[in-house]
């Protein structure tokens, strides 16, 4: 089988494009990724763009289920070097709808530039990226086939969904951190377990924030069993719902997300304090997630994600405070306890603690 890995090495222009498009597709990651050490910055920036391409394929409502699966599988082959990136871009780009933002149109069109960078990394880095894209791409295509307003069957199904879209990203990042640092690699087994929880905490926060936007496109990622225990049927869910049974179910999920984010803090504190860049990368995402959960908790009857979006002022405060405390584990633990004190206390299964 022909491989295209070394056909066109990455150029300075490719790297400039990567830095430019990161700004267009994610303000948050355009902020956090540059905090990383210079040798990690390019690979993790590239990893984010690969995941964003998979996400674009999954999210574009102009593609049929068959097309989504076809392009997800095709991109997996592109990343592994078995199919030319140009073939993927030329086939997908004309099919993208207006639902996909202009920056993502541009990203798909310039997939070859992104892939040339991917193929310039060392074998360990490439293996981590390829595994992540494979699991994410296959998982997203499977879940798109089962999207409905009825919600997921149970918490276990939600955990599995979160793994495919976020937990596997945590594993990939940990592989890259361990490849970068022998000291971090010493804690690899423990970090890998916590990485999945870290990813799930961030993804659950996004799911809760995006409940109503997801429902508009016919999807619901909330677990039926959590709400059924409270006597609420997700099929009855409508914007502006003030049913206390729904509020209780939402509270359980907020508490579970908090428990995962507590694991995220444990993960971060296992990174050597001298690696302040990696710690900042983790802490900024963690801090913004906790603040978002607080807003959701305070306004459980919100009807659009914008109502629970944290302000730029809050983002700046999170950046300043966590950066100042990045090396001090006790201070980080104290800050987490203070900022999350009003959130429900449950374990990862949703049971009160």
- Between the alpha carbon of residue 97 and those of residues 57, 64, 92, the distances in Å are 11, 12, 10
**Residue 274 φ/ψ region, left for φ over 0, alpha for ψ in the -120 to 50 degree band, beta for the rest:** alpha
pTM listed for this prediction: 0.93
Placement of tokens 């066109």 in the chain: 8
Instruction: Specify whether 154 is located in the same domain as 271.
Output: yes
Is residue 77 domain-resident? yes
Report if residue 40 sits inside a domain. Answer: yes
Same domain, 169 and 101: no
Residue 283 has what pLDDT? 96
Q: Residues 196, 325: one domain?
A: yes
pLDDT beneath 70: ranges in the chain: 1-8
Tens of pLDDT, residue by residue over 223-262, are 999 999 999 999 989 888 889 999 999 999 999 999 999 9
Q: Where is the domain boundary, 122, 156, 182?
A: 122
Query: What per-residue confidence (pLDDT) applies to 2?
Result: 42
* Residue 141 covered by a domain: no
Residue 220 in contact with residue 149, Cβ under 8 Å?
yes
CA distance 85 to 111: 6
pLDDT in tens, 328-338: 999 999 999 99
Domain span at 84: 12-122
Domain count, the chain: 2
**162 found inside a domain:** yes
Report d(CA 282, CA 13) in Å as an integer. 29
Decide if 131 is inside a domain.
Answer: no
pLDDT score for 8? 62
104 located within any domain: yes
Q: What is the pLDDT of residues 264-283, one digit of tens each?
A: 999 999 999 999 999 999 99
One domain for residues 205 and 90: no
62 and 23 co-located in one domain: yes
pLDDT score recorded for residue 6: 45
Residue 130 lies in a domain: no
Q: How far apart are CA 238 and CA 236, in angstroms?
A: 6
Same domain, 293 and 198: yes
305 and 187 in a common domain: yes
> 205: domain CATH number?
1.10.600.10
Regarding whether 154 and 111 lie in a shared domain, the answer is: no
| Same-domain check for residues 105 and 211 | no
d(CA 202, CA 221) in angstroms, rounded, equals: 14
Q: Are residues 118 and 172 in the same domain?
A: no
Residues 116 and 153 in one domain: no
Question: Is residue 284 included in any domain, yes or no?
Answer: yes
CA distance 165 to 145: 15
My answer on whether 231 and 340 are in the same domain is: yes
Domain stop point among 88, 122, 156: 122
């Amino acid at each position: 089988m022909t491989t295209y890995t070394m056909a066109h090495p990455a150029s300075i222009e490719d790297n400039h494009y990567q830095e430019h498009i990161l700004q267009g597709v994610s303000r948050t990651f355009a902020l956090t990724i540059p905090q990383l050490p210079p040798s990690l910055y390019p690979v993790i920036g590239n990893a984010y763009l690969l995941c964003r391409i998979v996400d674009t394929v999954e999210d574009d409502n102009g593609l049929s289920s068959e097309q989504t699966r076809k392009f997800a599988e095709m991109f997996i082959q592109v990343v592994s070097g078995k199919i030319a990136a140009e073939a993927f871009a030329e086939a997908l780009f004309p099919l993208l709808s207006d639902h996909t933002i202009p920056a993502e149109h541009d990203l798909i069109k310039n997939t070859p530039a992104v892939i040339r960078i991917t193929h310039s990394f060392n074998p360990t880095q490439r293996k981590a990226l390829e595994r992540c894209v494979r699991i994410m791409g296959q998982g997203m295509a499977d879940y798109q086939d089962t999207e409905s307003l009825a919600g997921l069957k149970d918490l276990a199904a939600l955990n599995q969904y979160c793994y495919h879209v976020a937990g596997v990203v945590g594993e990939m990042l940990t592989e890259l951190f361990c490849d970068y640092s022998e000291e971090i690699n010493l804690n690899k087994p423990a970090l890998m377990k916590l990485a999945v929880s870290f990813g799930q905490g961030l993804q659950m926060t996004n799911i809760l924030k995006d409940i109503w936007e997801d429902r508009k496109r016919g999807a619901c990622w909330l677990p039926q069993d959590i709400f059924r225990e409270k006597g609420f049927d997700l099929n009855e869910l409508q914007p502006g719902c003030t049913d206390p049974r729904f509020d209780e179910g939402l509270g359980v999920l907020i508490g579970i997300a908090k428990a995962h984010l507590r694991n995220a803090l444990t993960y971060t504190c296992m990174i050597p304090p001298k690696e302040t860049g990696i710690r900042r990368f983790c802490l900024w995402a963690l801090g913004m997630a906790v603040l978002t959960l607080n807003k959701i908790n305070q306004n459980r009857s919100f009807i659009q994600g914008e109502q629970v979006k944290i302000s730029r002022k809050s983002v700046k405060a999170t950046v300043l405070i966590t950066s100042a405390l990045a090396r001090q584990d006790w201070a980080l633990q104290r800050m987490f306890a203070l900022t999350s004190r009003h959130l429900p206390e449950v374990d990862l299964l949703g049971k009160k603690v």
